[in-house]
Amino acid sequence: MTQPTGDPTGDPTGDPTGDPTGSGAGAEPKSDEPSALREWVINVGTTINAGIKWCGGLAVMFGQAAIRGPRRPFGLFDISYQIVQLGIRSIPVTTMMSLFVGMILAWQFGEALADFGAKNSLGYVTSLALVRELVPTLLAVTVGTKMATGMTAELGSMKVTEQIDAISALGADPIKKLVWPRLVAASIAMPLLVAWGNVVAMLGGMLISDTVFDVPAGYFYHTYIDELEPLHYIMSETKALVFGGLAGIVGCYQGFTTKFGTEAVGLATTETVIAVSVMVLLADFALTTFFMPIG
Amino acid sequence: MNDAKPSPVAGPASTQSGVLAGVSAMSNSSGVRRAIGTTIGQYHGRTCARGEPVIEFNAVDKAFGPNVIYRGMNLKVRLGETLTIIGGSGQGKSVCLKLMIGLLHAEGGQVCYYGEDVGRMNAEQLRELRMRVSMVFQGGALFDSMTIARNVGYALREHTDMGDAEINQRAAESLTLVGLGPDEYPEIMEQMPAVLSVGQRKRVALARSIAVRPEVILYDEPTTGLDPSNCNRIARMIRKLQRELGVTSIVVTHDMTTAWYVSDRVALLHNKQFPFVDDVPTFRAIDDPIVRDFIEGRTS
Ligand SMILES: Nc1ncnc2c1ncn2[C@@H]1O[C@H](COP(=O)(O)OP(=O)(O)O)[C@@H](O)[C@H]1O
Ligand SMILES: [Mg+2]
């Protein structure tokens, strides 16, 4: 639990180096070098173990939410409340992030293209990078992390004060009451935010192309849209959906597995930041390898 | 009936043996009880008379990894009694209560409610169990995102198809039972838990637990962290609820004054078991150094 990232980073390095040294460290009386190695191996092993357990727990919770959530009552009030909490409140930061990433990317590409005298193709070049990759990923890492940490902090303090146990004790289902609405809301809010972010990022690009590179905004817009195919929108929104879901489930899982004590809430929240970022990048890679051949 | 022996020490208990007999009939006629269908002494066609075991631990083993909490633990809780569990901090008193409502599961042995193994109950059976056995958590565990009214009405909203008005009325009734009724505290229904004092919060938590008129109430350290007058108030309340609602209570505490006051029987948790379980006068007379050390607050 302490290192949710242990699984992906530890797996390739841990196994090959782990076994030989582990058996070789049986020579005890030598010096303390092998025992330090042994300790290191044990640490790596523990980390891998914790990582696998963590992923398993995450999957189990996701499964429970997917099975118990879509039953009556659907908890529509809770879901819409969470959408407001997670979505509407994130619009300002989404707008700012997207605007700036659109402007920065257009500027960077513009400089490079101007050297080749090809600045007119600025719209073509920026659109794919923004829509397929930068907007969804950047928003997932920032806004998604913000959603997830919010959930971890809230659910973690509920866990610490036994409120989650109290829900069970009153005969209700905490997964259904707490996880399901957040998971659904995050999976709805994220694609909506990404759609909005795509628009704003394009506006940012238009602004820079018109003012800095003298490529008319209308022309930039035309080329930008021209380059995009329906699949690219689907890719963007699929990523957003997956990232939103990941942020939701990681945030909830971290909250539910918070240990005792108030420091534990802080610890769990910090871990959530790392966990969401790493999970988002891994999922991004997986989705990109999935979509690239089709595109 | 053998639990309700008049005990010379616990004041109010002595007046109770006569009352108790009539309680069952009276408490079963409560409106909420009828609406939800929880009848004291009857569950799934099984019956349990007053004084017979309603909850039984049979050779229960429980451990968290290497941390063994219970080994071969046995305990019987009789219908209608107030059983107090005493024992040092971190020994597993809360775990015992959580085993009873299936929040935790035993690795070995059985925890039985009317002879049904709680550990094997499915979600639906657990839901039913938790309408009949309700727990008051140590810190109250009120939902801080909800008003007091919604907190207290939570289980009714969850398990019945009562309308908002009726739920609110039932919630007000429960609050009145714990002395926080809207007559005395006109704003309480709309307040958030954060504005209440610790003592009030515990009473609201108690009101939330009795809103469904359970058969068994589990109190986790109801008086810990309260000043003496609030301790008293809570202790009297536990007695009063036993009298008026006919509930069976299990009280976890390490405060001996409360323990003597509310209990019919006392169980001492020692060495992962309950080696001493007796009614109050007998328990107080036990000569064993383990018991004496604990009740006299000596550190060995
Ligand atoms: N959910 C849990 N996971 C792991 N350990 C637990 C859990 N609940 C309780 N414990 C451990 O069980 C022991 C007994 O806890 P508890 O029943 O809360 O003690 P107390 O008698 O003070 O109420 C403690 O050592 C605690 O660390
Ligand atoms: Mg406890």
From the CB of residue A22, how many other CB atoms can be counted at a distance below 10 Å? 15
B98 lies in some domain: yes
Q: Is the pLDDT of residue A18 over 80?
A: no
Please give the C-alpha separations between residue B195 and each of B139, B198, B200, B225, B289, in angstroms, as whole numbers: 15, 10, 10, 17, 45
Query: Cα(A103)–Cα(A126) distance, rounded to whole angstroms?
Result: 10
Q: Is the pLDDT of residue A288 over 80?
A: yes
Q: Is the pLDDT of residue A3 over 70?
A: no
Do the Cβ atoms of A171 and B130 come within 8 Å? yes
The residues, any chain, with a CB within 8 Å of residue A144's CB and separated by 6 or more, are A186, A190, A243, A244, A246, A247, A276, A280
User: Residue B85: enclosing H or E segment and its boundaries?
Assistant: strand B82-86
| Strand B116-117 to B108-113 pairing | antiparallel
Write down the pLDDT at residue A117.
85
**Residue A64, CB half-sphere, CA atoms under 13 Å: how many?**
17
The alpha carbon of A162 and the centre of ligand 2 are apart by a number of angstroms equal to: 11
- pLDDT bracket for residue A191 (50, 70, 90): very high
Write down the pLDDT at residue A130.
93
Write down the pLDDT at residue B30.
62
The alpha carbon of B64 and the centre of ligand 1 are apart by a number of angstroms equal to: 8
What is the residue-wise DSSP string for A240-259? Answer: HHHHHHHHHHHHHHHHHT--
B88 lies in some domain: yes
Q: What is the pLDDT of residues A197-230, one digit of tens each?
A: 999 999 999 999 999 998 999 999 999 999 899 9
C-alpha angle B288/B293/B299, rounded to 5°? Answer: 145
Minimal Cα–Cα distance from B66 to chain A, Å? Answer: 17
Write down the pLDDT at residue B49.
84
Q: What is the pLDDT of residues B225-241, one digit of tens each?
A: 888 888 888 999 899 88
Considering CB atoms only, which of B126, B127, B141 is closest to A165? B141
Minimal-distance CA residue to ligand 1 atom 24: B90
Nearest residue to B160 (alpha-carbon basis) of B276, B36, B245, B49: B36
Write down the pLDDT at residue A9.
39
Assess: ipTM above 0.90: no
Chains A & B: contacts with CB separation below 8 Å: 48
C-alpha angle A73/B204/B221, rounded to 5°? Answer: 110
Please give the C-alpha separations between residue A34 and each of A20, A31, B2, in angstroms, as whole numbers: 12, 7, 68
**Ligand 1 atom closest to Cα of B87?**
21
Chain B residue numbers with beta carbons less than 8 Å from the beta carbon of A160 are: none
Write down the pLDDT at residue A270.
94
Mutate to test the interface with B, among A1, A71, A170 (most CBs of B within 10 A): A170
Query: Cα(A219)–Cα(A120) distance, rounded to whole angstroms?
Result: 8
| Strand B53-64 to B67-78 pairing | antiparallel
Which of residues A91 and B18 earns the better pLDDT score?
Answer: A91
Write down the pLDDT at residue B85.
95
B3 lies in some domain: no
Residue type at A120 in one-letter notation? N
The alpha carbon of B92 and the centre of ligand 1 are apart by a number of angstroms equal to: 6
Q: Is the pLDDT of residue A132 over 80?
A: yes
Which of residues B9 and B86 earns the better pLDDT score?
Answer: B86
Report whether residue B193 contacts ligand 1, using a CB cutoff of 6 Å. no
The burial class, CB within 10 Å (0-12 / 13-18 / 19+), for A152 is buried
**CATH number where B84 lies:** 3.40.50.300
| Strand B42-43 to B273-279 pairing | unpaired
C-alpha angle B37/B41/B45, rounded to 5°? Answer: 70
Q: What is the pLDDT of residues A165-175, one digit of tens each?
A: 999 999 999 99
Average pLDDT, chain B: 85
Angle of helix B16-28 versus helix B228-245 axis, rounded to 10: 60
Q: What percent of chain A shows pLDDT beyond 90? A: 70
Minimum mean pLDDT range among A5-14, A199-208, B65-74, B142-151: A5-14
The pair of three-digit structure tokens given for residue A17, joined into one six-digit string: 């180096």
The residues, any chain, with a CB within 8 Å of residue B49's CB and separated by 6 or more, are B41, B79
List chain A domain ranges: 57-290
Q: Is residue A56 within 8 Å of residue A63, measured between CB atoms?
A: no
Q: Of the residues B61, B64, B67, B99, which should be mutated to test ligand 1's pocket, given the most ligand atoms within 8 Å of the CB?
A: B64
Q: Is the pLDDT of residue A76 over 70?
A: yes
Do the Cβ atoms of B130 and A169 come within 8 Å? yes
Query: Cα(A150)–Cα(A144) distance, rounded to whole angstroms?
Result: 10
Average pLDDT, chain A: 87
Average pLDDT (B256-274) is 92
Q: Is the pLDDT of residue A17 over 60?
A: no
Average pLDDT (B184-188) is 88
Average pLDDT (B102-116) is 92
The DSSP bridge partners found for residue B250 are B83, B218
Residue pointed to by tokens 């759609």: A195
Q: Is residue A173 within 8 Å of residue A68, measured between CB atoms?
A: yes
- pLDDT bracket for residue B1 (50, 70, 90): very low
B207 lies in some domain: yes
Q: Is the pLDDT of residue A284 over 90?
A: yes
Q: Is the pLDDT of residue B26 over 90?
A: no
Q: What percent of chain B shows pLDDT beyond 90? A: 51
Chain B residue numbers with beta carbons less than 8 Å from the beta carbon of A172 are: 154-155, 158
Minimal Cα–Cα distance from B103 to chain A, Å? Answer: 7
Query: Cα(A174)–Cα(A170) distance, rounded to whole angstroms?
Result: 10
B1 lies in some domain: no
Minimal Cα–Cα distance from A210 to chain B, Å? Answer: 49
Q: Is residue B178 within 8 Å of residue B57, measured between CB atoms?
A: no
pTM, full prediction: 0.84
Please give the C-alpha separations between residue A85 and each of A82, A135, A147, A150, in angstroms, as whole numbers: 5, 21, 9, 10
From the CB of residue A241, how many other CB atoms can be counted at a distance below 10 Å? 17
The pair of three-digit structure tokens given for residue A261, joined into one six-digit string: 């004590």
- pLDDT bracket for residue A278 (50, 70, 90): very high
* Domain residue limits at B106: 14-295
Q: Is residue A187 within 8 Å of residue A79, measured between CB atoms?
A: no
Query: Cα(B58)–Cα(B32) distance, rounded to whole angstroms?
Result: 33
What is the residue-wise DSSP string for B170-192? Answer: HHHHHHHHTT--TTTSTTGGG--
The alpha carbon of A155 and the centre of ligand 1 are apart by a number of angstroms equal to: 20
Please give the C-alpha separations between residue B163 and each of A171, A203, B94, B153, in angstroms, as whole numbers: 19, 50, 35, 11
Q: Is residue B144 within 8 Å of residue B110, measured between CB atoms?
A: no
Mutate to test the interface with A, among B95, B105, B137 (most CBs of A within 10 A): B137
Q: Is the pLDDT of residue B27 over 70?
A: no
Q: Is residue B216 within 8 Å of residue B134, measured between CB atoms?
A: yes
Chain A residue numbers with beta carbons less than 8 Å from the beta carbon of B137 are: 162, 165-166, 169
B9 lies in some domain: no
The alpha carbon of B252 and the centre of ligand 2 are apart by a number of angstroms equal to: 8
Write down the pLDDT at residue B151.
94
Write down the pLDDT at residue B14.
39
Write down the pLDDT at residue B21.
43
The residues, any chain, with a CB within 8 Å of residue B15's CB and separated by 6 or more, are none
Tell me which residues of chain A, numbers 129 to 188, contact chain B at a CB-CB cutoff of 8 Å: 158, 161-163, 165-173
Q: What is the pLDDT of residues B78-96, one digit of tens each?
A: 999 999 999 988 899 999 9
Nearest residue to A189 (alpha-carbon basis) of A151, A134, A159: A151
Q: Is the pLDDT of residue A15 over 60?
A: no
Residue pointed to by tokens 């071969």: B72
Residue pointed to by tokens 């829900």: A167
- pLDDT bracket for residue B300 (50, 70, 90): low
- Total domain count, chain B: 1
- pLDDT bracket for residue A118 (50, 70, 90): confident
